[in-house]
Chains A and B, each alone.
Chain A
Amino acid sequence: MTSFDPVSAALGGLLIGAGALLLMLFSGRIAGISGIFADALEPHQTGRGWRIAFIVGLIAAPLVVAVTGRAVPAPDMPAWAVVIAGGLLVGFGTRLGSGCTSGHGVCGIARLSPRSLAATATFMVTAAVVVAVSRHVLGGQ
């Protein structure tokens, strides 16, 4: 478990916001990663190029951070079965619900969209219940 670092959290948050604002300012698009990702997978989607470029930027980010000498820790992942089940649910759920933490949680709440406020409250509470059950009821840790 990494230690709590509010300065890095705030700085990182400002940069996430700056990235989302830049995408609207230059490309006229909402930075909803689940939508950008799914539409980038669609072979005949128009505007596939900018979506792939945005994803390449995301993928390159830790390399840029590492170059500045900052440590980039390897992600701690659960067992394979949980990884695959979680990935399927995140992919399916974000498409059905039209967004994820970025599209609803940041861009949607910034616009005070009732849909995004409802979606964000729903996925936050659901995820907290899943963590409470897996950690404290089933006693995973």
Chain B
Amino acid sequence: MAMIIAALGSGLVFGIGLVISGMTQPSKVLGFLDVFGHWDPTLAIVMAGALVVVAPGFALLRGRDTSILGVTLDWPSRRTIDRSLIGGAVLFGIGWGLVGLCPGPALANLAGLSPKVFGFVVAMAIGARAQDALRRIRGSQPQSA
């Protein structure tokens, strides 16, 4: 139960950050990506703000074995830059540039009950499931960031 409440609280704080920063608004994100137009630096400030907290926070947590709730800290361990990583980032970048939504802001927009946001999230789920099914067929190992 503590894991559930902790994750709920983490998601809530993360989501409030997305909403307050303006990152749930696709035009703000596309304004950042539009380097040849009226460039909007918002996304860079948001990322810098997040890194100011996460970089020293993670560095401090590196010395611990377990979380406050006693769970082993699950750090990603993969090091190789391979075709899947870059190919996946290219496909994600195309979708992100077309709509201006990435997974977090898409989910944080669901409560607005916009049919197009629902459509985007359903398509995102289908795309993710398709890739997972393809990976199972090919028999390779699941990956983590």
By a beta-carbon cutoff of 8 Å, the part of chain A in contact with chain B is: 1-2, 4-6, 8-35, 37-38, 41-42, 49-51, 53-65, 70, 72-78, 80, 82-111, 113-116, 118-120, 122-132, 134-136
Seed contacts A107-B145, A118-B85; 6 additional CB < 8 Å A-B pairs: A28-B71, A86-B98, A107-B54, A118-B81, A118-B89, A135-B34
Q: Is the interface of B mostly helix, strand, loop or mixed?
A: helix
Task: Give A15 to B135 CA distance when docked, in angstroms.
Answer: 34
**Cβ-neighbour of A96 out of B5, B91, B129 (below 8 A):** B91
**Cβ-neighbour of B98 out of A24, A78, A99 (below 8 A):** A78
Question: How far in angstroms is the closest Cβ of chain A from B42?
Answer: 5
Would you give 23 A-B contacts (Cβ < 8 Å), ordered by A?
Answer: A9-B42, A12-B19, A22-B9, A22-B13, A28-B72, A50-B3, A59-B108, A62-B15, A70-B20, A86-B99, A87-B106, A87-B121, A90-B103, A91-B131, A97-B86, A100-B102, A104-B89, A109-B47, A110-B55, A110-B57, A124-B33, A126-B96, A127-B93
Known: A93-B95, A98-B78. A25 touches B61 (CB 8 A): yes
Decide if B128 touches A92 in the complex (CB within 8 Å): yes
Task: Give A127 to B32 CA distance when docked, in angstroms.
Answer: 10
Kindly name the residue among A2, A56, A101, A136 whose own CB sees the greatest number of chain B CB atoms within 10 A.
Answer: A101
Question: How far in angstroms is the closest Cβ of chain A from B138?
Answer: 11
Count CB-based A-B contacts (< 8 Å): 497
By a beta-carbon cutoff of 8 Å, the part of chain B in contact with chain A is: 2-28, 30-31, 33-38, 40-42, 45-55, 57-58, 61, 66-69, 71-76, 78-81, 84-99, 101-112, 114, 116-117, 119-132, 135, 143-145
Task: Give A49 to B81 CA distance when docked, in angstroms.
Answer: 31
Decide if A57 touches B14 in the complex (CB within 8 Å): yes
Task: Give A53 to B71 CA distance when docked, in angstroms.
Answer: 17
Task: Give A70 to B89 CA distance when docked, in angstroms.
Answer: 34
Decide if A64 touches B81 in the complex (CB within 8 Å): no
Question: How far in angstroms is the closest Cβ of chain A from B66?
Answer: 7
Instruction: Return chain A residues, CB-CB under 8 Å to B119.
Output: 80, 83-84, 87
Question: How far in angstroms is the closest Cβ of chain B from A54?
Answer: 4
